Amino acid sequence: MAIKKQFLKSKPVCKVTFKIPKEKAEGFKTASVVGDFNDWNSKKNKMTKVKADGSFTAAIEFDLGQTIQFRYLLDNSMWMNEPQADKELHTEFPDATNSVLIT
């Protein structure tokens, strides 16, 4: 999986591109980036399925200086973390961690 950060010169934001590659996305019809930035709502930041390679992708702009907890949600049933995130945090659930992004 992959995260690409782009710090914009035109405004104080970091544009983050999230990508779930084909080998992880295979067999799933939908994917979303969910986290504390969107109240963990899977309808707010849906990912686009790239027909050319079968991956899912989404680009989201965040204000600079934020620490964001997030995960991927596939088909509204399968949670995935991002191994390239800046770090992981344990959650209140004993078997779960969240990916963390620092802008």
Separation of alpha carbons 97 and 103, rounded Å? 19
Record the pTM: 0.92
The domain locations on the chain are 2-102
Q: What is the DSSP code (8-state) at residue 19?
A: E
Residue range 2-102 in CATH 3.30.9.10: no
**What percent of the chain has pLDDT above 70?**
100
Residue 51's pLDDT is what? 85
- Per-residue pLDDT for 99 more than 90? yes
